[in-house]
Chains A and B, each alone.
Chain A
Amino acid sequence: MTTQALPDLGEVDYIRAGGGPWSWEWLKTTDHKRIAIMYLLMIVAFFFVAMTLGLLMRAELLKPGTQFLDGAAYNRVLTLHGVIMICLFIIPSIPAIFGNFALPIMVGANDVSFPRLNLASWYFYVAGAVLALWSVGAGGVDTGWTFYVPYSGNTDANVVLPMLAAFLLGWSSILTGLNMITTVHRLRAPTMGWRQMPLFVWGIYATSWIAVLATPVVGITLVLVLFEKFFGVGIFNASMGGDPILFQHMFWIYSHPAVYIMVLPAMAVVSEIVPVFSQKRIFGYRFIAVSSIAIAAIGSLVWAHHMFTSGMADEGRIIFSFLTFFVSVPSAVKIFNWLATMYKGSIRIELPMLFAFAFMFLFSIGGFTGLQQAALSVDIHIHDTSFIVAHFHYTMFGGTGTMFFGALYYWWPKMFGRMYNKTLGMIGFVLFFVGFNTLYFPLFIAGLKGMPRRYQDYLAEYQGYHELSTYGSWIIATGLILLVLNLIGCMRWAKWWGSDAETNPWNAASLDWRVPSPPPVHQFHEEPIITDGPYDYDIPHLGDDDSKAAPAEVQA
């Protein structure tokens, strides 16, 4: 694949076209790029809402005893933080924003397969968001984001609204996934074989499959809880013979694969960034591509490791503990391949690459502690302690969150045609990385020593860890505010700093960097001809097995 830019026909870009950036036209657009930007606005806004809630919790935990949130309020803040971060931020973040923006361009298409459905997905998202906020107005919910029965069936809090919100957001995610799968199959440039797709496309493709196959399970589960609550049918209600643990099974059948919905796209972004900033062909393309599918598959076999202490059969626990270890293999395959890609590459330290480094460091810690919990005996000791909180923040926030910001820095010049201030970005990154570890690492230790999770109060002996953690939350928040400020300040309407972006500032080889920055409404006027692999930096057109693959056999 050549890195040559497509001819710039001087067309107006997608932001200025059709009424310009401030027009109501955006609300009825079917342009995948505009929909991506609308997701971006919503998702970043909700991230900061949930981040503020997180800061509130950390501030409350600065000292033992009650500061300004009593137990009931703390439970509500905790639930809201979880629901917003998971349903409104992490799950849609990379697939809905960068999947929408970059995937069609990367496969040489002008839009997704079902543009109107794509817009409908966004409205599902908005409706879900409105319901989630409405539930706050209705007094908040104190069930935790998992909505476990029997508590969610009995609590006086209004659980209907957040459950319906989760249901709608689930549909938003399903419909986006459906669109992505069809786009990859049907709108891929005819000369682009399966083995010539950028790895980002593979990652989103695998993610989309999980979204399509697993999300309906949790959707119907929440509906069943509502049926039980309002019509009095017995499904999970133990007094009618139901089994509350079945709810946990059905919840985690989706929600465990969902953590791969969250992290696979992040890994996909790393696979994109590492070869670009090493200017070297990705090492083990096929292994990385297949490991995405493998993670999707194996990730569906391990859900009950969330339930080791909830009263499952012993044999079941052993089976799930055993299976859980396997899911680390494809993740490790990816990490090793990224390291091998960097080996002897001409590495450039730019912000996206720094975030990719941070991902590898933080996600590895998250992954290794995950292995510890996969061991049944260890998990029984640390279950429901702040060790778990630290672990999933290292994977979800350290993994997906980090790469969300990395992806912002990577694609921002393409999305808005403006390059941000790199010095400011570096300062923000250091604050982010230092703050992150200060915030979450102490929680591992406190958890091992017995600090329970979801508690508003604690014994004095844990104060040191909590204090450190709270200071960390202030550092990371500063870093994130700098990050967003940097991105906003470089925009065309602000221009506090930064410069106009070139078509291909990173010298990347994939198609998205060959169209102008920002791209015109119709990025391709004729079929892009793909001759090589997406990462052929080092060998000028010698090619190998990977890149010379004939147009694939499974095309549909």
Chain B
Amino acid sequence: MSHTQDHADEPHLIPYGTYIGIWLALCMLTLVTVGVSYADMRHMTIIVALLIACAKSTLVVLWFMHVKFENRAIWWFLIATILTYVTFVILTFADYSFR
């Protein structure tokens, strides 16, 4: 095991500036999502809002939670979890979307 993950033992130093950049991007996206919500897009509103939320959370997960530099097991864990959750949602709507 020791050979495959030594890189994970030493913290990957991310410059302060990078974090601040990510924060600025997150704030911008927040303002965008608020702005967009005032535009009348009918049922597209919620989809756009969720897409922006997904973009924001990707930034948080990859940089703030440093998954970008995490070992591969965490990547797989995260993908499995997200897939599981998405499956739960889709299958719940296998009932509700036909009601």
Which A residues fall within an 8 A CB radius of B?
185-186, 188, 190, 209, 213, 217, 245, 249, 253, 300-301, 303-304, 312-316, 319-320, 551, 553-556
CB pair A213–B84 under 8 Å, yes or no, is: yes
- Which A residues touch B92, using CB under 8 A? 249, 253
CA separation between A553 and B71, bound complex, in Å? 12
Given contacts A555-B1, A555-B5, contact A315 B98 (CB under 8 A): yes
CB pair B81–A213 under 8 Å, yes or no, is: yes
CB pair B1–A312 under 8 Å, yes or no, is: no
Given contacts A190-B2, A555-B1, A556-B5, contact A312 B84 (CB under 8 A): no
> What DSSP secondary structure best describes chain A's contact surface?
helix
User: For residue A302, which residue of chain B has the nearest CB?
Assistant: B91
CB pair A190–B98 under 8 Å, yes or no, is: no
User: For residue A186, which residue of chain B has the nearest CB?
Assistant: B1
- Which B residues touch A213, using CB under 8 A? 80-81, 84
What distance in Å separates the Cβ of A14 from its nearest Cβ neighbour in chain B?
A: 26
Given contacts A190-B2, A313-B98, A320-B94, contact A556 B72 (CB under 8 A): yes
Q: How large is the interface on B (under 10, 10 to 19, 20 to 34, 35 or more residues)?
A: 20 to 34
CA separation between A249 and B71, bound complex, in Å? 35
Q: Which of A209, A300, A313, A555 contacts B4 (CB 8 A)?
A: A555
Contact pattern, B 66-85, Cβ under 8 Å of A = 1, otherwise 0: 00000111101000110010
- Which B residues touch A551, using CB under 8 A? 1
Say yes or no: is B99 at the interface (Cβ < 8 Å to chain A). yes
CA separation between A553 and B95, bound complex, in Å? 40
User: For residue B73, which residue of chain A has the nearest CB?
Assistant: A556
CB pair B80–A554 under 8 Å, yes or no, is: no
CA separation between A213 and B78, bound complex, in Å? 11
- Which A residues touch B2, using CB under 8 A? 190
What distance in Å separates the Cβ of B24 from its nearest Cβ neighbour in chain A?
A: 33
- Which A residues touch B80, using CB under 8 A? 209, 213
CB within 8 Å of A: which of B41-98?
71-74, 76, 80-81, 84, 87-88, 91-92, 94-98
CB pair A190–B1 under 8 Å, yes or no, is: yes
Q: Which 3 A-B pairs have the closest CB atoms?
A: A556-B73, A316-B95, A313-B98
CB pair B73–A315 under 8 Å, yes or no, is: no
- Which A residues touch B72, using CB under 8 A? 554, 556
CB pair B98–A316 under 8 Å, yes or no, is: yes
- Which B residues touch A186, using CB under 8 A? 1
CB pair B84–A300 under 8 Å, yes or no, is: yes
- Which B residues touch A313, using CB under 8 A? 95-99
CA separation between A209 and B79, bound complex, in Å? 13
What distance in Å separates the Cβ of A248 from its nearest Cβ neighbour in chain B?
A: 10
CA separation between A505 and B91, bound complex, in Å? 49
- Which A residues touch B94, using CB under 8 A? 304, 315-316, 319-320
CB pair A301–B73 under 8 Å, yes or no, is: no
Would you mind naming 18 contact pairs between A and B with Cβ atoms under 8 Å apart? A185-B73, A188-B1, A190-B2, A209-B80, A213-B84, A249-B95, A300-B84, A304-B94, A304-B95, A313-B96, A314-B98, A316-B94, A320-B91, A555-B5, A555-B73, A556-B4, A556-B71, A556-B74
CA separation between A249 and B80, bound complex, in Å? 21
What distance in Å separates the Cβ of A428 from its nearest Cβ neighbour in chain B?
A: 41
- Which A residues touch B88, using CB under 8 A? 217, 253, 300
- Which B residues touch A209, using CB under 8 A? 80
CA separation between A253 and B87, bound complex, in Å? 11
- Which A residues touch B5, using CB under 8 A? 555-556
What distance in Å separates the Cβ of B91 from its nearest Cβ neighbour in chain A?
A: 6
Given contacts A313-B96, A315-B98, A556-B72, contact A301 B87 (CB under 8 A): yes
CB pair B76–A554 under 8 Å, yes or no, is: yes
- Which B residues touch A303, using CB under 8 A? 91
What distance in Å separates the Cβ of B89 from its nearest Cβ neighbour in chain A?
A: 10
CA separation between A303 and B90, bound complex, in Å? 13
CA separation between A435 and B91, bound complex, in Å? 40
CA separation between A32 and B92, bound complex, in Å? 39
User: For residue A323, which residue of chain B has the nearest CB?
Assistant: B91
